[in-house]
Amino acid sequence: MPQTYSIDLNCDMGESFGAWTLGNDAALMPFITSANIACGFHAGDPAVMKATVRAALPHGVALGAHPGLPDLVGFGRRDMAISAEEAFDMTVYQLGAINAIVKAEGGQLRHLKPHGALYNMAATNAALAEAIAEAVYKVQPDLTLYGLAGSELTKAGEKLGLKTAHEVFADRTYQANGTLTPRRQPDALITSADVAIAQVLRMVQGGGVRTQQGTDVALRADTVCLHGDGAHALEFAQRLSKELRQAGVQLQAGRPAAAK
């Protein structure tokens, strides 16, 4: 019997702020299965958070918290020297904010995925990873914790008994240790849609990725991240969802890549 695959397509959303608009959230909703909604620290504000939830609900898109570092100017992509206790506190604070808005709109929060530098720091720093996982566990232990595939964050979540989703990236390149190429390097982003889609299919169906060093790294792919702030984000989301379905991959939130 041939093996079947399914994958969650998640997108970072709600990253507008005040008078500034970023991304095309409403148009992307039909082509994704999960939305990670900024909680006000790196981007987003109460009105934007509410609007994003309202845009997601009619499409059945799973709602997630997307907490980041308190760095609006740097969009949460600059490392900060924070303690594990601070990581715990800022995760609890932001989780509470988005949870209240989701409940007020009649929805239910399903997952949490850290943003930007906080995400990357937690991928390799066990203390920060454990603090974020503990925050989820203490506030809402039924949430799924999203983290870089095989990272300290997914390990911390699994250790506490949380449901975890190992995340891979469509438009990012990888290093030999399984981490993402830092954005400050010129080869960090994949700009070719053909290359990005081929990478996704390889990760979902083959369980691995070709690194910038030319080696292959095995990884588990439960969810694929699409960045909604790119110039061609909508066009790419439409094409990726179509080509995954044509390849026999089902799109559904909360499902592992391979199923018997």
pLDDT at residue 257 greater than cutoff 60:
no
CATH of domain 4-259: 3.20.20.370
Question: How many angstroms separate the Cα of 104 from the Cα of each of 86, 112, 134, 230?
Answer: 27, 18, 25, 30
Closest by CA to 235, choosing from 168, 169, 171, is 171
What pLDDT score does 2 carry?
A: 57
Domain residues of the chain, as ranges?
4-259
- Is residue 254 very low, low, confident or very high in pLDDT (cuts 50, 70, 90)? low
Beta bridge partners of 146: 165
Terminal-to-terminal C-alpha distance of the chain: 9
What pLDDT score does 4 carry?
A: 78
- Is residue 258 very low, low, confident or very high in pLDDT (cuts 50, 70, 90)? very low
Give CA–CA dist 47/23, Å, rounded.
Answer: 15
> Could you report the per-residue pLDDT of 174-212, keeping only the tens digit for each?
999 999 999 889 899 998 999 999 999 999 999 999 999
Using N-to-C axis directions, what is the helix angle for 116-124 and 126-139, rounded to 10°? 110
pLDDT at residue 173 greater than cutoff 90:
yes
Q: Are 49 and 39 in contact (CB under 8 A)?
A: yes
Structure tokens at 38: 């900024």
pLDDT at residue 228 greater than cutoff 90:
no
What pLDDT score does 1 carry?
A: 47
pLDDT at residue 94 greater than cutoff 90:
yes
